């Protein structure tokens, strides 16, 4: 296929994702700033502002990686609240944990698969997954797990690459299929991982498709905000 990646067997996807994130972990934060020209920081701030958090609440950061969202959530829930940093990949989790330890914070950290969350039903006030759902093999199962661990009234935030505004598509394609792998090669000596990034973005369901998936999982009042002309979208849904 055009993406090549579609030909990879389902069981190989998880292994491929593990390899990619193990390989990019050390350079991950630097590359995020470079590739998005710092915009990912604004996207993440927007997501946290939409979380509706209050002191004392319990938050689960799925595929939390280097802890960008976890750190912002912690400020909202305060000392009486809890934020769990989780990720399937130990290399990414280690970067996140070390970064927070250097800042004098030590959030509980759990290495786990977003498709099989080791937490009880009806437990969290808010669950987030930022730039992580795209990498999961069974997105419907991951969404169902996030729904299960949320309390009734709790909300899910999905921050993810989405479908860019049509007139910008040619420029965005040029950027992601040519410039991105080149930057990956020059800065992180790793063109392949950044090629994977561009491909996985194109494969991910667009705004409406993801909204429908969330509704099919049982989320209510599902809505989304486009950010940066749809390069990214924040989806929000509630458990009733």
Instruction: Using the rule CB under 6 A, give the single segment among 59-67, 188-196, 222-230, 231-239 that binds ligand SAM.
Output: 59-67
127 touching ligand SAM, by CB under 6 A: no
Spatial separation of the C-alpha atoms in residues 65 and 88, rounded to whole Å: 9
- Contact letters for ligand SAM, residues 16-35 (x by CB under 6 A): -x---x--------------
131 touching ligand SAM, by CB under 6 A: yes
Tell whether the torsion through CA atoms of 90, 138, 162 and 217 is positive or negative: negative
Nearer to ligand SAM, 19 or 185 (CB): 19
Q: What's the chain's length in residues? A: 240
- For Cα atoms 235, 225, 162, give the angle at the middle one, nearest 5 degrees: 70
Among 31, 50, 59, 65, binds ligand SAM (CB under 6 A): 65
Spatial separation of the C-alpha atoms in residues 124 and 83, rounded to whole Å: 9
Instruction: Using the rule CB under 6 A, give the single segment among 86-94, 118-126, 181-189, 226-234 that binds ligand SAM.
Output: 86-94
Nearer to ligand SAM, 113 or 125 (CB): 113
**Strands, E assignment, the chain:** 58-62, 82-87, 109-111, 124-130, 150-161, 220-227, 232-238
Q: Where do contacts with ligand SAM occur on this chain (CB under 6 A)?
A: 17, 21, 62-66, 68-69, 87-89, 92, 113-115, 130-132, 135-136
């Amino acid at each position: 296929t055009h993406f090549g990646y579609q030909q990879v067997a389902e069981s190989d996807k998880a292994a491929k994702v593990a390899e990619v994130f193990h390989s990019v972990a050390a350079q991950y934060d630097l590359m995020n700033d470079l590739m998005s020209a710092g915009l990912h920081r604004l996207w993440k701030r927007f997501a946290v502002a939409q979380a509706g958090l209050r002191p004392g609440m319990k938050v689960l950061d799925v595929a939390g990686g280097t802890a960008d969202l976890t750190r912002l959530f912690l400020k909202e829930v305060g000392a009486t609240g809890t934020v769990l940093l989780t990720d399937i990949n130990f290399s990414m989790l280690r970067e996140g944990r070390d970064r927070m330890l250097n800042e004098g914070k030590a959030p509980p950290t759990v290495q786990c698969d977003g498709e099989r969350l080791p937490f009880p039903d009806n437990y969290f006030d808010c669950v987030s997954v930022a730039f992580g759902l795209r990498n999961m093999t069974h997105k419907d199962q991951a969404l169902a797990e996030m729904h299960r661990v949320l309390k009734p009234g709790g909300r899910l935030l999905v921050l993810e690459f989405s479908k860019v505004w049509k007139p910008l598509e040619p420029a965005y394609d040029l950027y992601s299929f040519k410039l991105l792998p080149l930057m990956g090669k020059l800065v992180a000596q790793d063109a392949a991982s950044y090629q994977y990034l561009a491909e996985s973005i194109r494969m991910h369901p667009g705004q409406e498709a993801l909204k429908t998936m969330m509704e099919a999982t049982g989320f209510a009042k599902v809505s989304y905000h486009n950010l940066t002309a749809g390069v990214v979208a924040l989806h929000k849904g509630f458990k009733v």
